[in-house]
Amino acid sequence: MSAELEVQKINSYYGLSHILFDVSLDVNKGEIVVLLGRNGAGKSTTMLSVMGLNPPKTGSVAYRGRDLTGLAPYKIARLGIGFVHEDRRIFPDLTVKGNLEVGKKTPKGKGRKWGLEPIYEMFPLLRRLENRQGGTLSGGEQQMLTIGRTLMGDPDLLLLDEPSEGLAPIIVKVLGASIDRMRKEGMTILLSEQNLKFSLKHADRAFIMDDGAIKFQGTIKELEENEEVKKRYLAV
């Protein structure tokens, strides 16, 4: 199997602070891979590095065998990579529908898979809130909206940064179901999480980060059985 996304030994910085240390990970086509780690482990920085928003100083990122080094973030997005930022950046003054429409873009030479209808089917609440202003939504509703908006761009690979953070269990369940649905649609997902239970339920494979480095990699089953790793790197 050739990897859709291949991150090899990246080192990333914020100014002079060295944050990522030789981080390597891979995501195969149709796979859901979770990047687990505590607060400040480096999960978001890894995603920002992949998207070219905080490009690594050394190492490489390749998408379908193509080196992304030096590419501008919008060009990386255009290759078919969607990014849902942990801050849930919606447009507060636009309606729900308006927010979704903003995300629309069709990569050249491709039929559309996602559009308003499939997104409303996945998140029926968004249909009901269609005319509400984004800024009035709850955290969970905003999370659905930001995922929906990213899907409007029809990505093949989705980077989903801590979708369940701070949300009520019922909303987390809805988000989990949406991940299962995206899997059915053949999408490839790199998910970041602190929520182990959620990850065990929805991912195929896991990488664990701590202090900016990968400390464990394996299948979900291997992680589930590894009490030592869970105790050492995750809050369980």
Q: Which residues here bind ligand ATP, judged by CB under 6 A? A: 14, 17, 19, 37, 39-45, 86, 162, 194
Least distance (Å) between residue 93 CB and ligand ATP: 26
Pick 12 or 120: Cβ nearer ligand ATP: 12
User: Rounded distance, CA 126 to CA 99, Å?
Assistant: 11
Pick 43 or 122: Cβ nearer ligand ATP: 43
User: Rounded distance, CA 129 to CA 127, Å?
Assistant: 5
Pick 2 or 39: Cβ nearer ligand ATP: 39
Residues facing 33 on adjacent strands:
190, 205
On whether the CB atoms of residues 47 and 192 are closer than 8 A, the answer is yes
Listed residue (226, 220, 214) closest to 200, CA to CA: 220
Listed residue (111, 65, 56, 103) closest to 83, CA to CA: 103
Q: Binding mask 173-202 vs Mg ion (x if CB under 5 A, - otherwise)?
A: ------------------------------
224 binds, among Mg ion, ligand ATP, none (CB under 5 to 8 A by kind): none
Nearest residue to Mg ion by CB is 44
Size of the site for Mg ion (CB under 5 A): 3
* 44 lines the binding site for Mg ion (CB under 5 A): yes
Listed residue (173, 174, 179) closest to 192, CA to CA: 179
Q: What count of other Cβ atoms lies within 10 Å of the Cβ of residue 166?
A: 11
Least distance (Å) between residue 38 CB and Mg ion: 10
Pick 49 or 99: Cβ nearer ligand ATP: 49
User: Rounded distance, CA 125 to CA 143, Å?
Assistant: 12
Phi, psi of 103 (to 5 degrees): -80, -5
194 binds, among ligand ATP, Mg ion, none (CB under 5 to 8 A by kind): ligand ATP
Least distance (Å) between residue 37 CB and ligand ATP: 5
Pick 53 or 62: Cβ nearer ligand ATP: 53
Q: What count of other Cβ atoms lies within 10 Å of the Cβ of residue 78?
A: 14
Interacting residue ranges for Mg ion, rule: CB under 5 A: 43-44, 86
